[in-house]
C-alpha cells in the first residue's frame, strides 16, 4: 500500500541533518548546561550558539530568544505574563486563533477579569482592520493584540506589519502566534512592530518538544516557571540540549534552503489546486487557501461535495489507503467538535460538507498528490 503524508501543518518529517546533530548531542555532549565542569561548559556553549544563530537570522538580539517546549508554552507564557506583569487589562484577538491563544485568553478573563475582545472577521476569515482600530481606541486600558500570522487550518496570511503598526499607534502590545510561519517565511524583527512571537521546531522539520519565544528587550516580563536561572531567568529547568541543537539545525537548514524549498512546495500546492478542481467538480477552498497570494504555500483546506453521512467514513477511508491528512488542526482531530475556525466563516449548510486540510513539504511529490486526489475522486463517486 502506498503511504502518503500530507499533514505537515500538524508536524513534519525530521531532516536527516537534524537527526545526525541530535545523535552527537545525545552521545557526546551529555553534560548539564548549568554545570561548571567541561562537560557542562561544552553543552552550555552549544545552547548559546543556537540562540545566537537564530537571533542573527531574525535580526534579533540573542537575549530576545527564549527556548521553550514549543509554541503552546510560549503563547501561554507571553499572554499570562503580559497580564500579570505589564498591567494588560484588555486582550484583543480573533475567534479563529489557535487554542493555545484562545483558551489562555479565556482563562485569563476568568482569573484576572481582563476584558476579552474579538475582532470581526470577513467571509474568508481575515480580521477587519477597521474594527481592530475601533477596539484599540475604545478606552485607555493597557491592551495586548494577539493575532496569528498564518492560520493553521485555512492558511490565511495576515498582514502583521499593518497590525503591528496599528497596535504601536495605540500604545498596545502585539503578540503573534507564528508557529506556521517561522521556518517558512523570512523574518526581520527590526522591520516588524511585533513585541512577541512564537515558534515550534517540529513545524519546520525539527524535533518535537522544543520551540522558542521572541520577547523584545526590556519588555518587563518576569518568569512563569520558577527555579534555576536558565533561559535568562525566564524559564527555569535544565535545558533539553539535544532538542535545542536539533532546533538550531532545522532552523539553519530551513533558511539556507528557503528560496528553493518555498518554490518547490508552492509548485506542489498550485498543482494540487489545479488537479483537485479537475478531478472533483464542485470542490471549494476554505478561507483563502485556494489563493497562493493570500494564503501560505504550505496548505490547502478543501470542502468536498459529499453527503454528510457518507463523509463520516472519509478520513477512515483515506487512512486505509495510506493517506495522512486532517479535518482541521491535529489538536482537534480526536474531538467530536467541529472546527472552531470553519464554524466562524461558513454557513451551516456548508459546515455539513466534509472539509480536509492537506499540507505539503519538501518531501512530497506530484505523484503522491495524484494518488491522493485519485482516492478522493473514487470515494466521492462511489
Whole-number Å distance between alpha carbons of 379 and 382: 5
State the catalytic residue, choosing from 129, 236, 279, 331: 331
Torsions phi, psi for 174 (to 5 deg): -130, 120
Chain centroid offset of residue 214 CA: 14
Q: Which residues contact 243 (CB under 8 A, 6 or more apart)?
A: 22, 201, 207, 209, 210
Would you call 331 a catalytic residue per the annotation? yes
What is the pairing mode between strands 323-324 and 4-5?
parallel
* Residue of 205, 177, 209, 196 whose CA lies nearest to 68: 209
Describe the crossing of helices 241-256 and 16-28 by its angle, rounded to 10 degrees.
150
Q: What is the DSSP string of 251-275?
A: HHHHHHTHHHHHHHHHHHHHHHHHH
Residue 301 belongs to what H/E stretch?
strand 299-303
Cβ–Cβ contacts within 10 Å for residue 36, how many? Answer: 10
Whole-number Å distance between alpha carbons of 72 and 254: 21
- By the 8 A CB rule, do 327 and 339 touch? yes
Q: Which residues contact 250 (CB under 8 A, 6 or more apart)?
A: 14, 15, 18, 183, 201, 204, 205, 206, 207
- By the 8 A CB rule, do 302 and 285 touch? yes
- By the 8 A CB rule, do 177 and 36 touch? no
* 200 bridge partner residues: 211
- By the 8 A CB rule, do 7 and 330 touch? yes
Cβ–Cβ contacts within 10 Å for residue 186, how many? Answer: 12
Alpha helices by DSSP H, listed for 29-150, are: 38-58, 71-85, 99-112, 129-137
Describe the crossing of helices 258-279 and 241-256 by its angle, rounded to 10 degrees.
80
Q: Which residues contact 103 (CB under 8 A, 6 or more apart)?
A: none
Q: Which residues are catalytic?
A: 331
Amino acid at each position: 500500500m502506498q503511504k502518503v503524508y500530507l499533514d505537515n501543518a500538524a508536524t513534519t518529517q525530521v531532516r536527516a541533518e537534524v537527526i545526525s546533530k541530535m545523535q552527537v548531542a545525545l552521545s557526546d555532549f551529555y553534560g548539564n548546561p548549568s554545570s561548571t565542569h567541561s562537560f557542562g561548559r561544552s553543552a552550555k556553549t552549544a545552547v548559546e550558539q543556537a540562540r545566537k544563530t537564530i537571533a542573527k537570522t531574525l535580526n534579533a538580539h540573542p537575549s530576545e530568544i527564549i527556548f521553550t517546549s514549543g509554541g503552546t508554552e510560549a503563547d501561554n507564557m507571553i499572554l499570562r505574563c503580559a497580564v500579570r506583569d505589564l498591567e494588560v487589562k484588555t486582550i484583543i484577538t480573533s475567534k479563529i486563533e489557535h487554542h493555545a491563544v484562545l483558551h489562555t485568553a479565556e482563562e485569563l478573563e476568568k482569573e484576572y477579569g481582563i476584558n476579552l475582545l474579538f475582532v470581526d472577521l470577513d467571509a474568508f476569515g481575515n480580521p477587519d482592520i477597521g474594527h481592530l482600530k475601533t477596539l484599540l481606541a475604545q478606552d485607555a486600558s493597557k491592551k495586548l493584540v494577539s493575532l496569528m500570522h498564518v492560520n493553521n487550518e485555512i492558511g490565511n496570511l495576515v498582514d502583521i506589519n499593518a497590525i503591528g503598526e496599528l497596535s504601536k499607534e495605540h500604545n498596545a502590545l502585539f503578540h503573534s502566534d507564528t508557529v506556521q510561519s517561522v521556518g517558512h517565511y523570512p523574518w526581520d524583527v527590526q522591520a516588524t512592530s511585533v513585541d512577541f512571537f512564537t515558534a515550534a521546531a517540529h513545524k519546520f522539520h525539527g524535533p518535537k518538544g522544543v520551540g522558542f519565544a521572541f520577547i523584545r528587550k526590556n519588555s518587563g516580563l518576569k518568569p512563569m516557571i520558577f527555579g534555576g536561572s536558565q533561559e535568562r531567568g525566564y524559564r527555569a529547568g535544565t535545558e533539553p540540549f539535544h532538542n535545542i541543537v536539533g532546533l538550531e539545525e532545522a532552523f539553519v537548514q530551513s533558511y539556507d534552503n528557503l528560496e528553493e524549498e518555498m518554490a518547490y512546495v508552492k509548485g506542489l500546492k498550485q498543482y494540487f489546486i489545479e488537479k483537485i478542481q479537475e478531478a472533483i467538480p464542485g470542490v471549494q477552498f476554505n478561507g483563502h487557501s485556494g489563493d497562493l497570494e493570500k494564503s501560505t504555500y504550505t496548505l490547502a483546506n478543501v470542502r468536498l461535495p459529499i453527503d454528510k453521512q457518507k463523509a463520516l467514513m472519509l478520513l477512515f477511508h483515506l487512512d486505509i489507503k495510506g493517506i495522512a491528512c486532517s479535518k482541521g488542526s491535529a489538536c482537534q482531530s480526536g474531538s467530536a467538535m467541529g472546527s472552531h475556525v470553519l464554524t466562524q466563516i461558513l454557513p451551516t449548510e456548508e459546515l455539513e460538507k466534509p472539509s480536509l486540510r492537506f499540507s505539503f513539504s519538501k518531501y512530497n511529490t506530484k505523484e503522491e498528490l495524484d494518488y491522493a486526489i485519485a482516492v478522493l475522486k473514487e470515494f466521492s463517486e462511489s
